[in-house]
Amino acid sequence: MEVWQIFLFVSLLFAAFGIAWALFSPFAFIYSALFSRRNHSKMLDELRQRIEVTVDRYGRDPLTNKKSPTFGEDVSEAMYVQANYVVGPGWWNQFIGGWHTLIGGKIDSYDDILTIARQNCLQSLREQAAEGGYDEVINVRLETARLSALSNQKNQNKFIEIFAYGTAVKYS
C-alpha cells in the first residue's frame, strides 16, 4: 500500500512537470522571438549613451591596447583593472544560429549580444579608471570564453563570457 502510493506520487509529479514544461516552452519561445531583439537594441542604445558621457568627460577615449603610455613616461601610479560580463544569447538567437549553420551568412542578432557584452566590459574599465582618477588605461586585452551550464550535451556551452583587463595609469 505504502510503496505504490509513493510511486504514484512521484510519477504524478514528473507528469505535472512535463505538462507544465510543454505548456510553458512555446510561450517562452514566442516571447523570446518577439521581444529579445527589441530589448537588446534598447540595451545597446543605453550603453552607447553611457560610453558617450565618459568619453566626453575625458575628451578622448581613455582605452588603448598599446603597451606603453601615450603621453610620456612620467607615470606616478599604475593599477590593474578588470571587468567581466556573462551573457545568455536567448532562445531566439540560439534557434536562428542553428538555422544559419545550414544556410550560412551573417547573424545580426548574435552580433548585438556580443557587442553589448564587449562594450559593457570596456565601459566598466573606463568607469573604474575615471573613479580612481586615472588618465589612461593601457594594454587592454579582451578575452572570450564559453561557459557550460548544468545541462545535457546538446545545450552545452551556450553562455558566453567576455573578460577585459588592462593597466590604468596616472600621469604625474
Binding region for other proteins (CB under 8 A): 28-29, 31-32, 35-36, 39-40, 43, 67-69, 73-82, 84-93, 113, 117, 120, 128, 138-139, 141, 143, 145-151, 156-159, 161, 163, 165-167, 169, 172
Q: Which is nearer to other proteins, 5 or 156 (CB)?
A: 156
Q: Which has the closest alpha carbon to 28: 113, 72, 90?
A: 90
Min dist CB 44 to other proteins, Å, is 11
Return the amino acid letter for 85.
Y
Nearer to other proteins, 8 or 88 (CB): 88
Residue among 11 and 82 whose Cβ is closer to other proteins: 82
Cβ distance 166 to 63 under 8 Å?
yes
Q: Which helix (H) or strand (E) holds 44?
A: helix 2-58
List of residues 6+ apart from 141 with CB closer than 8 A: 65, 164, 165, 166
| Residue with smaller CB distance to other proteins, 1 or 23 | 23
